[in-house]
Structure 1
Amino acid sequence: MSTSGPPQILLHDPTLRDGHHAVGHQLDADQLRAYARAADAARVPVVEVGHGNGLGASSLQTGRAHLDDATMLITVREALTSSRMGVFMAPGWGTSHDLEAAVRHGADVVRIAAHCTEADVTERHLGVVRDLGAEAQGVLLMSHMTGPGRLAEQCALMVEFGAQAVGIMDSAGHYLPADVTERIGAIAAAVDVDVIFHGHNNLGLAVANSLAAADAGARIIDATARGFGAGAGNTQLEALVPVLERRGHTTGIGLREVLAAADIAANRLMKAPPSIDSLAVAGGVAGVFSGFKRPVLAAARAEGVDPVELFLALGERQVIAGQEDLIGAVARRLKAAAR
């Protein structure tokens, strides 16, 4: 990357992956195709697609997707002419076979995710991605659950494993801008590859946090159309583009075209844009995975407990993605305690 002129930010768009959480992973082929074409026309560098929890994650526990992985990837790949296609996988949900199939279906960028203190589980799969010839990226989930130094160490470990970009996800929408500045700065100082930041909007700070990440040295920022995503949603793509440009960070994305893509997303993908409701705020404060909103509501209704109290109780137990089965158990404990 050139050091002259304003820093270039590569925007990575997981509207068709993280957005899936907001609709129970039920997007159909026409919806995927319509948004992929619009994002491609806006010159979005990377369009990520798949089940909300990534490759191989469609299940009773996390929610069955309307389409299988192969159909989703083939549909989006055919719709893209200039944008690269990205996929996401967390070991334990997806396997090497899922990675091989994804690259065979045209995935250019493959993200391997791990809990923020467990980067060692990415070693095998990052190696597989490199062997397959795709760009390998490593991301740490629930990154608020450990400090800047530990995150920097974990990211450096993923670089040793072959990651060509590394970074953090604010999976619970818990960060303030100062938290992001400190963590991204520590990671950028520890690695010699591009640094990634992925924000959520539970406390209304996703754009501010993303700007803080860019200022602190992140060069790959995630954002979705209308903020379409789990819980209160992700960083809003069409708002972030002009904010970054005003700050002096170039993106290469056309403003009118990205606004048009956002309108297509609003009209075709979602019943209503994500909002910062009481549960979103509770999840952000408690530091609970944003994708738990739907199962928390279901468990709270089933047991007759307050969903806000359930979110706070899950936060006290530091429950993470993949532990959906604990939501019902904690709800039953709250019900028993109330008696």
Structure 2
Amino acid sequence: MLNTIPDEVNFLDCTLRDGGYYTNWDFAPELVSDYVATINTLPVRMVELGLAGKPESHGYFASVTSSKAEKVAAGLLVKACVMIDAKDVLASELPIPLAVIRLTEGLVPGHITTVRVAAHYSNLAACRNICAELSHRGFRVFLNLMQIDAANAAEIETCLKEVKQIDTIDVLYIADSFGSMKPTRVQEFIGRFAGRIEADIGFHGHDNRGYALVNSVAAAMAGATWIDCTMGGMGRGAGNTASEQLLPILTRLETSKERALLEHVLRHFDPLRKRYGWGSSAAYQFAGSNFIHPSYVQKLREGGALSDAAIIRRLSDLRADERMSFANEKLSALMAQDIA
């Protein structure tokens, strides 16, 4: 079956961005330098260095600029990108072009060739000007379609119509934000969007239900030409498709390079996994199956005070309209519950 995967699949490693949800976007310099050196040996097309435009209270990789990129990734041999959140633009009182300029201050095409825009599927129409401004400034534009698995048939059709009106997108990503998708659902989305739009299609998986790897392979088999991965699967909530698992399946990775990749993960990311505890679990599986924002589980698991059974009971009390958007006040209420 794997011989149906096209040779032109591109891999994007987004460890420093998605993994930052656990480290507040700070990583040790030794880890970063080893990461760059390891990436340079792998069949990875692009690296996501972090976010752009986040507050100073967040770490170094939450507000990446071109000067930062030149400093931390001077030896990087592959292309680099950053991600912005469409909500940050749309919440501004400034006109969209000016809001984009403000958010991406310090970014110029060079080391960073691409800006990825994370947008909820219901905000696609409003993203047209965001993508246009980024393209006008010389960046390639990748649009990550968030939480799309929760959309109904009519909403998906609306998304298809709206994304066709955005002619500055280079790659449209189907993002399994809740980690809720099964392989058949992934292939349905990839096939449906690929058949209607000119942009390339990408897939970003999360491992809430333990399907991130198989979903990524299914996406490639369905025609996705960009697939995301992270070292050790480090990422928000249960984490992402692990680079060290995906690359040996979908590429002709030499044994020596696979070993070096595994040693890199063991040296730097296994200690972080033991500290922060990402990975599929009963609580994450419940959240994924019920379209519950993964940050609820991530925060409730911090410190190890609550069992997965207790977390599931607390999450069961969330109303449908509270599940998809993470709110600190709701988290506080869940943490305050007295459940035996």
TM-score (norm 2): 0.81
Residue 142 of structure 1: aligned partner = 147
Q: Is 1:115–2:120 an aligned residue pair?
A: yes
Match of 1:84 among 74, 79, 85: 79
Q: Which runs of 5+ in 2 are unaligned?
A: 90-98
Matches of residues 30-49 of structure 1 in structure 2 within 5 Å?
A: 30-49=30-49
The residue aligned with 1:280 is: 284
User: Cα–Cα, structure 1 residues 103 and 151, in superposed 2: closer, same or farther, change >3 Å?
Assistant: farther
Q: 1:271: how far off?
A: 2.0
Find the residue that maps to 1:192 and give its secondary structure. coil
- What's the CA shift for 1:176? 0.9
How far apart, CA to CA, are the structure 1 residues paired with 2:271 and 2:163? 38
Asked if structure 1 preserves the Cα contact closer than 8 Å seen for 2:296 and 2:326, the reply is no
Counterpart in 2 of 1:310?
A: 314
Is the Cα–Cα contact under 8 Å of residues 115 and 140 in structure 1 kept in the other structure?
Answer: yes
2:69 maps to 73
User: 1:79 aligns to what SS in structure 2?
Assistant: coil
The alpha-carbon distance between structure 1 residues 261 and 99, as it changes in their structure 2 partners (threshold 3 A), is: farther
1:111-260 superposed matches below 5 A: 111-147=116-152, 150-151=155-156, 153-155=158-160, 157-161=162-166, 162-245=168-251, 256-257=256-257, 259-260=259-260
Q: Are the equivalent residues in 1 in contact too, given 2:119–2:145 (CA < 8 A)? A: yes
What letter is aligned with 1:276? S
Q: Counterpart of 1:79 in structure 2: which amino acid?
A: G
Q: Distance in 2 between matches of 1:155 and 1:86?
A: 25
Task: Output one character per residue of 1:296-339: Cα deviation in whole Å (capped at 9) or x when no partner.
Answer: 3469969xx9322233444733533564443224555x55xx79
What is the rounded CA distance, in whole Å, between the counterparts of 2:116 and 2:47 in structure 1?
Answer: 12
Identity %: 22
Q: CA deviation at 1:194?
A: 0.5
Which shifted more, 110-119 or 284-293?
Answer: 284-293
Report if aligned partners of 1:119, 1:155 keep a CA contact under 8 Å in 2. Answer: no
Q: Distance in 1 between matches of 2:11 and 2:157?
A: 22
Residue 93 (structure 2) aligns with: none
Q: Distance in 2 between the 1:295 and 1:199 partners?
A: 20
Count of aligned pairs: 318
Q: Deviations over 1:96-116 (max 9, x none)?
A: 123352335731121111112
Moved more, 307-316 or 209-218: 307-316
* Distance change (3 Å), C-alpha of 1:211 and 1:267: same
> Matches of 1:314 and 1:188 in 2, distance apart?
35
1:74–1:279 CA distance, 2 compared to 1 (3 A): farther
State the alpha-carbon separation in 2 of the partners of residues 221 and 306 from structure 1. 34
Residue in 1 that maps onto 2:23 = 23
Q: Deviations over 1:176-229 (max 9, x none)?
A: 111111111111111111101100111111111111111222111111122111
- Pairwise CA distance, 1:6: 3.9
Q: In structure 2, which of residues 47, 53, 57 is the aligned counterpart of residue 56 of structure 1?
A: 53
For structure 1, list consecutive stretches of 5 or more residues without a partner in the other structure. Answer: 246-251
Q: Residues 6 and 223 of structure 2 are in contact (CA less than 8 Å); yes or no, is this contact kept in structure 1?
A: no
Give the whole-Å Cα distance in 2 for the aligned partners of 1:219 and 1:272. 30
Gap change, CA 1:196 and 1:5, over 3 Å in 2: closer
Please tell me the root mean square deviation across aligned C-alpha atoms, in Å: 3.1
In the TM superposition, residue 262 of structure 1 has moved relative to its aligned partner by 4.3
Residue identity opposite 1:65 in structure 2: G
Return the letter of the residue paired with 1:80: L
**Partners of 1:102 and 1:30 in 2: how far apart?**
25
Structure 1 letter corresponding to 2:175: M
3-state SS, counterpart of residue 78 of structure 1: coil
Change (3 A) 1:259 1:150: farther
